[in-house]
A and B are shown apart, each in its own frame.
Chain A
Amino acid sequence: MSSRVEYGWRATLRELFTYKSAILGIAILAFLVALSVYAVVTIPYDQAVKLWRGSENVWINNPRNALPEWWEWFAGKKLPRTLVLDSRVTGFGVSKAVTPVVGTDMKLVTINYIIDYNYDDFPSEVNIFFSARYQKNPPLVKLVVQKPGGEEIEFPRFSLRAPNDSLYYSISKDVLSTLVSYYASKHGGVNVSDRLTSIELTFGRASREGLESGALEVEKGMYRVRIDAVCFGEDSDLDARIVVYGKVHGPAGTDNLRRPLEIALLWGAPVALAFGLTASLLTTVLQMVIATIGAWYGGVIDDIIQRLTEVYMILPFLPFLIMISAFYKIDIWVILAVVIVLSIFGGGIKSTRALVLSIKEYPYIEAAKVYGASNARIIFLYIIPKILPPLVPGLISAVPGFVFLEAALSFLGLGDPFLPTWGKVLNDAFNAGALYRGYFYWVLEPAALLMLTAFAFAFLGFALDRVVNPRLREM
């Protein structure tokens, strides 16, 4: 009759650890839990939402669509990091000198930057952000770039249009035409290829063939950038920040809005775990209680529950959920409640009911009735403890389904409007055409985390199933 040698939770756990899949599942789960705790502790909820929804200005010093830093291991070359040089922050490579012009209220501001560029690839962008103070006339600014080889390129003087003007060096037409004409004159009327960008022309080793074919190599070494500005007025000043954007950033890369993906990936973990576990737990427990009550009392109660279940089972779950989320812009906890309400009368009712109908006839239930146990006592203390163990593996195995559901809703743009989740990252990537444009990491990272979560629960569920239902064990 009883083939199990040991009973109780402790014995079950001990037995669970004899399965490799259980250990693997628990290890992955522990990693995800650690990730969640780290996310919640280091980036509080409000801050996460603010950072994720913040405009581009928060992340202006980050490269756009940068790969994660570890991509270097696979690329086999040193990929450029982002370099930020700010004249307001004194440090290595930045120096600023202000000389008043005697007899006038003019000032000459000279800022020198040294950029030590030792990467195997071109930067993705270069921007210069000015911050000027003036009364009437904006400063006149001249930019001089000296390459490691000694070539010095002077850009035409221009006047700032606003105190916070910026020079988008990589896309400015003036910059490009200056560079093209500089090389054309230096290499004796060479026909500079259209394919070359300002970045390549600035950071590339210029040769006649290279300029004509449009294939330049990176010139490594010290780049010196000088900003010569003439400021007008007593209280005038100028500062500038040069950002040489790299091609890799952080542990997870950035998206098209320069946001570091790790914020969303980190915050996705607690959301996915909380959503999946809560949904699975509540659905299983509620289904179990409802099915047990129905099977125990029988008659009209059972009939109502069974008919309701049959109706629920043919209702299209996802379209319903989509409709509800589309009509009411709801947050993730309301979505969770809706998911639970929609799955209460699920298929689990049928299998639990079948189980209870057989347990109902067990002699020990009859004995309990003879000594006067009430219906509630029999349901909660005599039947549910008996059917609970076989339901636990199902509960664990059902978690990924709910995690995927949340991701699917977010992917469809129907998830929580504020919270960064894995599904939302996938949605952003899809909208930005990430796979067409080769931003594979943007899709693979959240997908990998989703699969990891599914694996963890599946491994654990399988092992638990074998422990709890010994008949599944292979001989």
Chain B
Amino acid sequence: MGEDKVLLRVENLKMWHAMRRGLFGGVVYVRAVDGVTFSLAPGEAVSVVGESGSGKTTLGKTILRLHEPTDGKLIFKGRDITHTPEKELMWFKRETGLVQQDPYGAMPSFMTIYRILEEPLIIHKVGTKEERSEMIFKALEEVRLTPVEDFAFKYPHMLSGGQLQRVAIARALILKPSLVVADEPVSMLDASVRVEILTLMRELQEKRGISFIYITHDLSTTRYFSEWIFIMYAGHIVERARTKALLQNPLHPYTRALLAAIPDPDPENRKRFREVPPGEPPSLVNPPPGCRFAPRCPYATERCRREEPPEFEVEPDHFVKCWLYVGAR
């Protein structure tokens, strides 16, 4: 990838949350994100998949600079924003958007939908009052909340979860950002509206050429959505590849386990034994010295427990962080 084609570059990003233990205990760190490296091209959608506590949400928030990274580098459009103070980040805030998991909590209950969508425009001093109104109605139309006049002056509690999530998408897109982070945008919605919301997001993403980071714990939805899949485990990206490659040829033992866990409606499956590695993810306060997955990995060797594996590029654009592939290429 040429430097000009990179929208976001994340280099060895670390986000450690400080935590005080007990009354006299010292400060310990929860290593939610512990050395993540990747780049994102403009217009590309990436799915970040991982179980609870894998650090995927923290990664999303750190990329949006809701947290200041502990270490590493965040480069957006060629500018280093790792430690830029909040006040000088306004241009970056205009370039980014966020769609959250809980559509009810994501809306200030005392504002109308119109006001909710106008807020980002007011903050960034976009347009006159009339121009803003036009933009808001257009945005509502785009997320198919029609007739827009009906929805614009309602309060959030008058809308359903799916409708609110559409408002959230409209809000994330109203500043015409180049990067949107969607943090489990459909996991709180009814199964019936999930696909609709995902298709809508995908459609808008492709139409406008926005880069998307789609954070989810549900591998099955990613294939509709993204060009890339990153698998996260205990603060690391253990495998990243093009969607097709990853789903067809999973390399990391953890990815394989995840894929094996997807329920498949095939009667033959009831006879097949599902190989799920026992145990739980390690503590992020005091992670094991070697590979984070080693305690649960059926293929773990002595080296895995001792030494952290680097990222190996097994095939073009297919990276895996596992000693099994040492010297594969």
User: What chain A residues lie within 8 Å of B311 (beta carbons)?
Assistant: none
The stretch of B30-38, B44-52, B88-96 in contact with A is B88-96
Closest to B94 in A: A372
The stretch of A213-221, A256-264, A363-371, A449-457 in contact with B is A363-371
A385 within 8 A of B: yes
The stretch of B98-106, B202-210, B278-286, B291-299 in contact with A is B98-106
Q: Are A366 and B110 in contact (CB under 8 A)?
A: no
Closest to A375 in B: B86
Closest to B103 in A: A363
Min CB distance B4 to A, Å, is 26
B127 within 8 A of A: no
A59 within 8 A of B: no
A10 within 8 A of B: no
Roughly how many angstroms separate A336 CA and B53 CA in the complex, as a whole number?
Answer: 54
Q: Are A1 and B106 in contact (CB under 8 A)?
A: no
| Interface SS, A side | helix
User: What chain B residues lie within 8 Å of A374 (beta carbons)?
Assistant: 123
CB-contacts of A336-390 with B (<8 A): 362-364, 366-374, 377, 382, 385-386
Tell me whether A386 and B93 are in contact in the complex, defined as CB-CB below 8 angstroms, given that A366-B66, A373-B119 are known contacts.
Answer: no
CB-contacts of A383-399 with B (<8 A): 385-386
Min CB distance B80 to A, Å, is 19
B175 within 8 A of A: yes
Min CB distance A211 to B, Å, is 83
Tell me whether A4 and B157 are in contact in the complex, defined as CB-CB below 8 angstroms, given that A372-B93, A385-B110 are known contacts.
Answer: yes
User: What chain A residues lie within 8 Å of B102 (beta carbons)?
Assistant: 363
Q: Are B98 and A1 in contact (CB under 8 A)?
A: no
Task: Kindly supply a per-residue 1/0 record for chain B positions 204-230, scoring 1 wherever the CB is within 8 Å of any chain A CB and 0 otherwise.
Answer: 000000000000000000000000000
Q: Are B108 and A382 in contact (CB under 8 A)?
A: yes
Q: Are A371 and B66 in contact (CB under 8 A)?
A: no
Q: Are B124 and A372 in contact (CB under 8 A)?
A: yes
Q: Are B97 and A363 in contact (CB under 8 A)?
A: no
B145 within 8 A of A: no
Roughly how many angstroms separate A79 CA and B62 CA in the complex, as a whole number?
Answer: 86
Closest to B105 in A: A363
B109 within 8 A of A: yes
User: What chain B residues lie within 8 Å of A7 (beta carbons)?
Assistant: 109-110, 155, 157
B7 within 8 A of A: no
Roughly how many angstroms separate A364 CA and B155 CA in the complex, as a whole number?
Answer: 14
Q: Are A2 and B97 in contact (CB under 8 A)?
A: no
Task: Kindly supply a per-residue 1/0 record for chain B positions 49-90, scoring 1 wherever the CB is within 8 Å of any chain A CB and 0 otherwise.
Answer: 000000000000100101000000000000000000000011
User: What chain A residues lie within 8 Å of B155 (beta carbons)?
Assistant: 7
Tell me whether A2 and B108 are in contact in the complex, defined as CB-CB below 8 angstroms, given that A366-B66, A372-B93, A372-B123 are known contacts.
Answer: no
Roughly how many angstroms separate A386 CA and B93 CA in the complex, as a whole number?
Answer: 24
Tell me whether A366 and B119 are in contact in the complex, defined as CB-CB below 8 angstroms, given that A372-B90, A386-B109 are known contacts.
Answer: no
User: What chain A residues lie within 8 Å of B156 (beta carbons)?
Assistant: 2
Tell me whether A371 and B93 are in contact in the complex, defined as CB-CB below 8 angstroms, given that A2-B109, A382-B108 are known contacts.
Answer: yes
Q: 10 A-B contacts, Cβ less than 8 Å apart?
A: A1-B157, A4-B157, A7-B155, A371-B93, A371-B124, A372-B89, A373-B123, A385-B110, A386-B108, A386-B110
Can you list the 5 inter-chain pairs with the closest CB atoms, starting with the nearest? A372-B93, A2-B157, A371-B120, A363-B105, A370-B98
Given A363-B102, A370-B97, A374-B123, 19 extra CB contacts under 8 A: A1-B157, A7-B109, A7-B110, A364-B105, A364-B107, A367-B100, A367-B171, A370-B98, A371-B119, A371-B120, A371-B123, A371-B171, A372-B90, A372-B123, A373-B123, A377-B123, A385-B110, A386-B108, A386-B109
